[in-house]
């Protein structure tokens, strides 16, 4: 796997183990936010049959400029962030839940990131 800005950052987990969960939710924080804050949000959902995975962006930002900036301006951070989401969703699949049982949720910059990921990795 490629080594990039976000690779090697923590991926926090909460809820059920993926292998025992009804579904998994991957939560991407916003600029200046944290993976822990996203797990705090997940706790409020009270969906006890879910596995929650929250990757942490290096320096609390997925990419340096606005999502409206030309894609090249946000490189290589954007590609690294997208690779991290691919790694997380791939781990979920390897642990027994397919894409049809994986939910992507993002806040602010994280929402832009998961929308870009979903558009590039379109699946059911």
Domains present along the chain, CATH in parentheses: 11-120 (3.40.50.1820)
pLDDT tens, residue by residue, 82-101: 999 999 999 999 999 999 99
Residue stretches of the chain with pLDDT short of 70: 1-2
Tokens of 18: 């993926």
Residue 1: per-residue pLDDT: 46
The continuous run of DSSP H or E covering 24 comes out as strand 23-28
Q: Compute φ and ψ for 123, nearest 5 degrees.
A: -150, 170
């Amino acid at each position: 796997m490629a080594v990039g800005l976000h690779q090697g950052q923590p991926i926090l987990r909460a809820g059920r183990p993926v292998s025992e969960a009804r579904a998994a939710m991957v939560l991407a924080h916003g600029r200046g936010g944290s993976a822990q804050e996203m797990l705090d949000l997940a706790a409020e959902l009270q969906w006890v049959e879910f596995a929650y995975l929250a990757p942490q962006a290096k320096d609390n930002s997925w990419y340096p400029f606005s999502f409206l900036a030309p894609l090249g301006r946000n490189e290589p951070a954007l590609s690294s962030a997208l690779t991290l989401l691919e790694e997380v969703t791939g781990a979920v699949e390897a642990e027994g839940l397919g894409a049809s049982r994986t939910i992507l949720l993002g806040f602010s910059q994280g929402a832009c990131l998961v929308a870009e990921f979903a558009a590039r990795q379109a699946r059911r």
